[in-house]
């Protein structure tokens, strides 16, 4: 028997808000509500007229994002193991979180990137900076082999120990793109099916298994999974004013081993630090072959599976009733934290970070392309007519309403 559980998509509570972070970023959205929303209010990224070239057939886009608090996990793993190469993953996180947002509006090539790195020099030496900067270029080299050219224009590296406890790794991407090749989400409509593309596994262009965690909800993941050992040994890794009952409340250490089917034995820390998967190699193909049939694209980042609600062009009901089985890392987080379904699905992607609204026939073709790249994909839901914007997730046999 199914039961309907109704939740507000913006109500904040639980451990996430007690740690001073927000899945929905209500205060941020309130602060920017009076700013120009760009040419297309429902698009995943802001787009503006072609101020650079002055051509009415093009748009300009500039987007900023970063690795967030995932850099703290890299810091802990590096301090505990001495493995400095883990910082290359943080470089990929900062790039992928920018790039995959741009993919949602159709931008997939000829992109400019500028990095911003703020560090506490007393704790973060030059060898770490080298790994981040060189790792960024290495990731760009990999993407180039799959049709996405990103030009690394340098950036700013600042020693601001009075501001940053360890290190913050961020970046900005800029592009000029033809207006007739952009996705605005204005075409999302009842009758669409939704294709979900897995965040976990090992894509053909990845070097190792990806846990699927990405770069959202890492404050929660870190404190929920890791033990008080880290609070005592590395007080620089958390806000001192936080209540002790939300700081490193888990049972695990970064070097604890776990065995996963098809993967073998790996560290908990490696799963938490899996570099954010980019869907650029996949989207480059999909945008080329199926552009006319793509009605909307969502990156399930901050806000998790509720992210799509922000970009619906009109009242309608989004039904996600065939979601992926959550990968191991999310089950581990929930077991440690005791978080309810509402919080887990609002904070984490829970199995897929990219979703495309399209026709059923096109969906099947897209799934074939994804499988060729060793990315699991399936139709995870559809869109129905409704008098209001709403979302229904089917989780463990229950319908969770937002």
Which residue in 294, 35, 38 sits closest to 182, CA to CA? 294
Q: How many angstroms separate the CA atoms of 301 and 382, rounded?
A: 20
The total domain count for the chain is 1
Q: How many angstroms separate the CA atoms of 336 and 331, rounded?
A: 9
Tokens of 87: 């910082």
Q: What average pLDDT score do residues 100-117 get?
A: 98
- Asked if residue 277 lies in contact with residue 349, where contact means CB atoms within 8 angstroms, the answer is no
Residue 341 reports pLDDT greater than 90: no
Q: Is residue 223 part of a domain?
A: no
Tokens of 193: 């099916």
pLDDT in tens, 133-186: 999 999 999 999 999 999 999 999 999 999 999 999 999 999 999 999 999 999
Q: Is residue 75 part of a domain?
A: yes
- Asked if residue 309 lies in contact with residue 185, where contact means CB atoms within 8 angstroms, the answer is no
Q: Is residue 245 part of a domain?
A: no
Pairing of strands 58-66, 167-178: antiparallel
Terminal Cα distance for the chain, rounded:
20
Q: Is residue 107 part of a domain?
A: yes
Token look-up 């992607």 returns: 349
- Asked if residue 400 lies in contact with residue 341, where contact means CB atoms within 8 angstroms, the answer is yes
Global pTM value = 0.92
**Domain range enclosing 86:** 4-214+272-401
Q: Is residue 311 part of a domain?
A: yes
User: Phi/psi zone of residue 36: left (φ > 0), alpha (ψ -120 to 50 degrees), beta?
Assistant: beta
- Asked if residue 296 lies in contact with residue 362, where contact means CB atoms within 8 angstroms, the answer is no
Is the model more confident about 22 or about 230? 230
Tokens of 68: 């967030």
CATH number at 93 reads 3.30.1330.10
Task: Name the strands in the sheet holding 150-159, side by side, starting at the edge strand that comes first in the sequence.
Answer: 48-49, 58-66, 167-178, 111-119, 150-159
Q: Is residue 247 part of a domain?
A: no
pLDDT in tens, 203-231: 999 999 999 999 999 999 999 999 999 99
Q: How many angstroms separate the CA atoms of 401 and 49, rounded?
A: 38
Torsion from C-alpha of 114, 41, 316, 297, nearest 10 degrees: -30
Q: Is residue 17 part of a domain?
A: yes
Hey, CA dihedral for 318, 105, 209, 368, is it positive or negative?
A: positive
What percent of the chain shows pLDDT beyond 90?
A: 89
Q: Is residue 260 part of a domain?
A: no
């Amino acid at each position: 028997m199914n039961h309907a559980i109704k939740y507000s998509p913006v109500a904040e509570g639980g451990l996430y808000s007690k740690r001073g972070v927000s899945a929905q970023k209500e205060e941020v959205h309130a602060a920017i509500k009076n700013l120009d929303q760009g040419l297309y209010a429902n698009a995943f990224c802001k787009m503006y007229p072609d101020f650079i070239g002055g051509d009415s057939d093009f748009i300009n886009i500039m987007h900023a994002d970063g690795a967030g608090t995932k850099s703290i996990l890299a810091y802990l793993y590096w301090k505990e193991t001495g493995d400095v190469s883990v910082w290359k993953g943080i470089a990929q996180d900062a790039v992928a979180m920018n790039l995959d947002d741009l993919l949602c509006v159709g931008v997939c090539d000829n992109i400019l990137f500028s990095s911003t790195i703020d560090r506490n020099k007393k704790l973060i030496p030059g060898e770490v900076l080298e790994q981040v900067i060189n790792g960024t270029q290495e990731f760009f080299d990999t993407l180039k082999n799959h049709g996405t050219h990103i030009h690394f224009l340098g950036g700013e590296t600042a020693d601001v120990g009075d501001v940053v406890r360890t290190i913050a790794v961020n970046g900005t991407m800029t592009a000029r793109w033809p207006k007739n090749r952009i996705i605005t989400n204005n075409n999302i409509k009842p009758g669409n099916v939704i294709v979900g593309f897995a965040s976990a596994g090992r894509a053909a262009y990845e070097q190792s298994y990806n846990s699927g965690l990405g770069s959202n909800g890492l404050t929660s993941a870190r404190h929920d999974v890791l033990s008080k050992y880290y609070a005592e040994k590395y007080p620089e890794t958390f806000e001192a004013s936080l209540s002790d009952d939300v700081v490193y409340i888990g049972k695990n250490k970064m070097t604890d081993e776990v065995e996963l089917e098809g993967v073998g034995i790996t560290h908990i820390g490696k799963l938490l630090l899996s570099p954010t998967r980019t869907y650029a190699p996949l989207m480059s193909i999909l945008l080329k072959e199926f552009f006319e049939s793509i009605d909307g694209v969502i990156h399930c980042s901050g806000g998790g599976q509720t992210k799509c609600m922000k970009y619906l062009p009109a009242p309608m009901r989004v039904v996600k009733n065939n979601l992926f089985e959550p990968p191991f890392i999310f089950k581990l987080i929930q077991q440690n934290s005791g978080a309810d379904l509402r919080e887990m699905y609002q904070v984490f992607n829970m199995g897929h970070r990219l979703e495309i609204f399209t026709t059923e026939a096109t969906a099947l073709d897209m799934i074939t392309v994804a499988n060729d790249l060793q990315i699991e994909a399936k139709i995870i839901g559809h869109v129905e007519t409704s008098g209001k914007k709403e979302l229904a997730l089917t989780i463990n046999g229950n319908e969770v309403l937002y």
